[in-house]
Structure 1
Amino acid sequence: MKLSKEQVEKVSALIIDKLKGKDLIVFKAAEPKVLERVNEVILADLRAEDILDKEVEEILKSHSVEGQKIDYRKMFNMVKGKLARERGLTL
């Protein structure tokens, strides 16, 4: 995961605070519950991206891309982008 749970909690709190500060959000539930849900959504998204990364690595490994004169990172990002679009994921 690219962010730790603590980092996600800080980002979530910052998002909530910014939205509150600009009166762009009205809570229908207690603020701690909203914050908890924002954390869950972000963490789920990060887990989905981690799973996608592992799948892309397996695809590239199965096609022996690592040893060829192909930019591995570029190919990785291309395959990841294609799979994300197919699955309706926003990266």
Structure 2
Amino acid sequence: MVSADGLKTWFDYQLLFTGIAIAFVVVIAVWSRLVAYLGTLPLADSSVDSTNPTVALAVTGGGILTIVLLVVLAGLLNRDRK
């Protein structure tokens, strides 16, 4: 006979795996759309100067945003659950 606690744990893992699978599909779909959009941009345009301070600020801002998001995510995942 299956215990209620074991069944609850099994359902928890099934929901977790289903959520991970859905998130994976969404990330792949968004990534493909982003790559398709970036393919249409004239990034090799000679009028874009890579030594321009605006480009450096954009790259730095993206890096800082990524680090902040990772810190927030780590904090959310390490919360004490009750």
Larger radius of gyration: 2
Task: Say whether the fold is shared (TM-score over 0.5).
Answer: no
TM-score normalised by length of structure 1: 0.39
TM-score normalised by length of structure 2: 0.43
Greater RCO, CA 8 A, separation 6+: 1
Quick check: which one's helix share is greater?
2
